[in-house]
Protein backbone atom coordinates (compact mmCIF):
# COMPACT_ATOMS: atom_id res chain seq x y z
CA UNK A 1 0.00 0.00 0.00
CA UNK A 2 1.48 3.31 -1.01
CA UNK A 3 0.47 6.90 -1.33
CA UNK A 4 -1.93 8.97 0.68
CA UNK A 5 -4.10 6.06 1.75
CA UNK A 6 -1.39 4.19 3.64
CA UNK A 7 -1.26 6.71 6.48
CA UNK A 8 -5.04 6.99 6.54
CA UNK A 9 -5.39 3.22 6.72
CA UNK A 10 -2.90 2.98 9.57
CA UNK A 11 -4.66 5.73 11.52
CA UNK A 12 -8.07 4.11 11.09
CA UNK A 13 -6.64 0.74 12.08
CA UNK A 14 -5.18 2.20 15.29
CA UNK A 15 -8.51 3.87 16.09
CA UNK A 16 -10.36 0.59 15.51
CA UNK A 17 -7.94 -1.27 17.79
CA UNK A 18 -8.31 1.36 20.51
CA UNK A 19 -12.10 1.22 20.26
CA UNK A 20 -12.04 -2.58 20.41
CA UNK A 21 -9.91 -2.35 23.56
CA UNK A 22 -12.47 0.00 25.08
CA UNK A 23 -15.27 -2.49 24.39
CA UNK A 24 -13.29 -5.34 25.94
CA UNK A 25 -12.41 -3.22 28.97
CA UNK A 26 -16.10 -2.40 29.34
CA UNK A 27 -16.92 -6.10 29.39
CA UNK A 28 -14.35 -6.68 32.14
CA UNK A 29 -15.61 -3.65 34.06
CA UNK A 30 -19.15 -5.04 33.85
CA UNK A 31 -17.93 -8.35 35.27
CA UNK A 32 -16.01 -6.64 38.06
CA UNK A 33 -18.93 -4.39 39.00
CA UNK A 34 -21.53 -7.14 38.69
CA UNK A 35 -23.54 -5.43 35.97
CA UNK A 36 -26.28 -7.61 34.55
CA UNK A 37 -27.60 -5.36 31.78
CA UNK A 38 -24.57 -3.37 30.63
CA UNK A 39 -21.64 -4.61 28.56
CA UNK A 40 -18.89 -3.02 26.48
CA UNK A 41 -18.94 0.73 26.06
CA UNK A 42 -22.37 0.90 27.69
CA UNK A 43 -20.85 -0.55 30.88
CA UNK A 44 -18.24 2.21 30.87
CA UNK A 45 -20.94 4.82 30.40
CA UNK A 46 -23.01 3.35 33.23
CA UNK A 47 -19.93 3.22 35.47
CA UNK A 48 -19.21 6.91 34.86
CA UNK A 49 -22.83 7.86 35.56
CA UNK A 50 -22.70 5.94 38.84
CA UNK A 51 -19.25 7.14 39.89
CA UNK A 52 -19.55 10.83 39.02
CA UNK A 53 -23.32 11.40 39.02
CA UNK A 54 -23.10 12.60 35.44
CA UNK A 55 -26.22 12.50 33.31
CA UNK A 56 -26.50 9.58 30.90
CA UNK A 57 -26.90 12.06 28.05
CA UNK A 58 -23.57 13.67 28.98
CA UNK A 59 -21.74 10.37 29.05
CA UNK A 60 -23.36 9.06 25.87
CA UNK A 61 -22.23 12.21 24.05
CA UNK A 62 -18.57 11.46 24.82
CA UNK A 63 -16.26 10.30 22.07
CA UNK A 64 -14.29 7.08 22.52
CA UNK A 65 -11.23 9.23 23.20
CA UNK A 66 -13.07 11.06 26.00
CA UNK A 67 -14.27 7.78 27.49
CA UNK A 68 -10.73 6.40 27.47
CA UNK A 69 -9.53 9.58 29.19
CA UNK A 70 -12.23 9.29 31.87
CA UNK A 71 -11.39 5.68 32.72
CA UNK A 72 -7.62 5.93 32.24
CA UNK A 73 -6.97 5.36 35.95
CA UNK A 74 -9.23 2.31 35.99
CA UNK A 75 -7.48 0.99 32.88
CA UNK A 76 -4.01 1.49 34.36
CA UNK A 77 -2.20 -1.85 34.40
CA UNK A 78 -5.02 -3.60 32.56
CA UNK A 79 -4.13 -5.54 29.43
CA UNK A 80 -6.23 -7.12 26.74
CA UNK A 81 -7.03 -10.73 27.60
CA UNK A 82 -5.56 -13.42 25.36
CA UNK A 83 -8.94 -14.13 23.77
CA UNK A 84 -9.22 -10.53 22.58
CA UNK A 85 -5.64 -10.48 21.31
CA UNK A 86 -6.30 -13.71 19.41
CA UNK A 87 -9.41 -12.19 17.84
CA UNK A 88 -7.34 -9.24 16.63
CA UNK A 89 -4.58 -11.51 15.33
CA UNK A 90 -7.10 -13.60 13.41
CA UNK A 91 -8.32 -10.48 11.60
CA UNK A 92 -4.78 -9.71 10.46
CA UNK A 93 -4.58 -12.90 8.43
Q: What is the DSSP letter of 56?
A: H
Q: Is 35 exposed, middle or buried (0-12, 13-18, 19+ CB in 10 A)?
A: middle
pLDDT of residue 93: 52
Pick the more confident residue, 5 or 1.
Answer: 5
**Where does the pLDDT of residue 2 fall: very low under 50, low under 70, confident under 90, or very high at 90 and above?**
low
**Where does the pLDDT of residue 91 fall: very low under 50, low under 70, confident under 90, or very high at 90 and above?**
confident
**Buried (b) or exposed (e) across 2-22, using 16+ Cβ within 10 A?**
eeeeeeeeeeeeeeeeeebbb
- Extents of the domains making up the chain: 4-92
> Does position 1 have pLDDT exceeding 60, yes or no?
no
20-73 per-position pLDDT tens digit: 999 999 999 999 999 999 999 999 999 999 999 999 999 999 999 999 999 999
Amino acid sequence: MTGIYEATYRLERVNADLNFGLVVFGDRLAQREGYKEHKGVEAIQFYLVQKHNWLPSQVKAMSPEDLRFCVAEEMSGWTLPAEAINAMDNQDR
